A = this chain, B = another copy of it.
Amino acid sequence: MSPSEEADLLRVNLAFYQSFESMDYDAMAALWSQRPEDICVHPGWPFLAGWRDIRESWRAIFANTGFMRIDITDVRVELGERLARVCCVENLYSVFDQQTLASQVAATNLFIKVDGAWKVTLHHGSPVASQEVAPADPGDEN
C-alpha cells in the first residue's frame, strides 16, 4: 500500500468532517458509497443500515443543528485493498443557550474503494465525555 493511498484516505476522512461541520448535505452525500451495505451509528442512536436511512439522518441532523466545530485528533489508519479504516477522536464544540459545549466522540470510519476512489461506507460515533467550557459570550445580557 503506497503512502499516496493513505494520503488519499486521510483526505476523504477530512472532507467527511468538513462537510459535517459546514452541514453541507450534498458534499456529505457525495462522499458515501450510497449502497444498501452502508452503516451509520450516530452517538446514542441505534444503527442505521442502508444509504436511504443514513441520508435522512444527515438531513435531520443538519436541519436541527446550529453552530458546530469539529477538530479531529488521534487519527489512526489501517489500509486494505478494498476496505480501509480510520479511527479518530472528534472534539466537538457547539453553542447552545449562550454556553459553549465541548464533547468528545470516539469514531470509527470505514471506507470502500469504488472506481479507484475511497468512499465512506460506515461511520460509527460513540459519546465519550461532555463538559461545559465557558460562556459563549460572558458580556451578553441574560
Q: Which residues of A are interface residues toward B (Cβ below 8 A)?
A: 37, 39, 41, 43-47, 49, 74, 76, 78, 80-85, 87, 89, 104, 106, 108, 110, 112, 121-122, 124-129
Contacts and interface: CB of A to CB of B under 8 A. Distances in A.
B83 A80 contact: yes
Chain multiplicity (copies): 2
B81 A82 contact: yes
A121 B46 contact: no
Please report whether the interface of chain A is mostly helix, strand, loop or mixed according to DSSP.
strand
Contacts of A37: 76, 78
A74 B47 CA distance: 10
B112 A47 contact: no
A85 B87 contact: no
Contacts of A41: 106, 108, 126
Given A80-B80, A125-B126, 11 more contacts: A37-B76, A41-B106, A41-B126, A43-B126, A44-B127, A44-B128, A47-B87, A78-B121, A80-B81, A124-B126, A126-B127
A41 B128 CA distance: 10
Nearest to A41: B106
A14 to B, nearest CB: 19
